[in-house]
Amino acid sequence: MEYSDVAGFAADSWGEPGERTFLLQLTGPWGRHTYLLEKAQVGALAAGINHLISETDDVPDANATPAQLIDEPPRFRVAQLALGYDESTGFGVLTISSVAEEDDEVTYRLTLDQLAAAARQGEAAIAAGRPLCPKCGLAMDLDGHACPTTNGDLRHHRP
């Protein structure tokens, strides 16, 4: 299934750091579609969007605002995201695949402004997470964590 005329695109999260749910949400005349994905997938999508934009001659509006998430159950959990660019129309093409084989792959045609705004939104959502351990790079809770580099010995580990 392919959708164009996207009015809003959000790549954001719900909840508190450590308990967040990451979502993509697209709206248009066909309704609102929400997809559940992992934090790393949001980061990879943002990086892919930034790379795609750097490869085009078009410069997206730096002031374009992303859509805000609306609370809605997701259609499915995302297995894969594919991002491309249609030079003939100047639209980005985002294809979303589900982890469940019975769900159909879905494609959306988005402006570069929408993509760039969602990439900034996704990067901000990721940055708002828990701080990373300087020793192992894993996310820490406020009271620290059992760092694998210390083999669980936290006597000399500070969050």
Residue type, 65: T
Closest CA to 141 of 15, 20, 18: 18
* In contact, 115 and 49? CB cutoff 8 Å: yes
- pLDDT tier for residue 69 given thresholds of 50, 70 and 90: confident
Shared domain check, 6 and 35: yes
Distance in angstroms (rounded) separating the CA atoms of residues 149 and 136: 6
Shared domain check, 11 and 68: yes
Lowest mean pLDDT of 4-8, 34-38, 124-128, 136-140, name the range: 136-140
What's the whole-number mean pLDDT along residues 140-158? 67
Shared domain check, 121 and 158: no
pLDDT of residue 113: 95
Model confidence at 128: pLDDT above 90: no
Residue type, 59: V
User: What tokens does 60 get?
Assistant: 């997206």
The single residue listed with the structure tokens 């730096």 is 62
Read off the pLDDT of residues 9-68 as tens digits, 9 standing for 90 and up: 999 998 887 788 999 999 999 999 999 999 999 999 999 999 999 998 888 888 899 999
Non-local CB neighbours of 106 within 8 Å, separated by 6+ positions: 1, 2, 3, 33, 95, 96
Report the 10 Å Cβ neighbour count for 61.
12
Distance in angstroms (rounded) separating the CA atoms of residues 97 and 88: 24
Shared domain check, 111 and 39: yes
The string over 24-60, giving b where at least 16 C-beta atoms fall within 10 Å of a residue's C-beta and e elsewhere, is bbbbbeeeebbbbbebebbbebbebbeebbeeeeeeb
Lowest mean pLDDT of 67-71, 106-110, 131-135, 140-144, name the range: 140-144
Shared domain check, 120 and 147: no
- pLDDT tier for residue 148 given thresholds of 50, 70 and 90: confident
The model carries a pTM of 0.82
Model confidence at 96: pLDDT above 60: yes
Distance in angstroms (rounded) separating the CA atoms of residues 14 and 90: 31
Shared domain check, 154 and 80: no
Residue type, 17: P
- pLDDT tier for residue 155 given thresholds of 50, 70 and 90: low
What distance separates the 2 farthest-apart alpha carbons in the chain? Answer: 60
Q: Which domain holds residue 40?
A: 2-128
What's the whole-number mean pLDDT along residues 89-103? 95
Shared domain check, 135 and 116: no
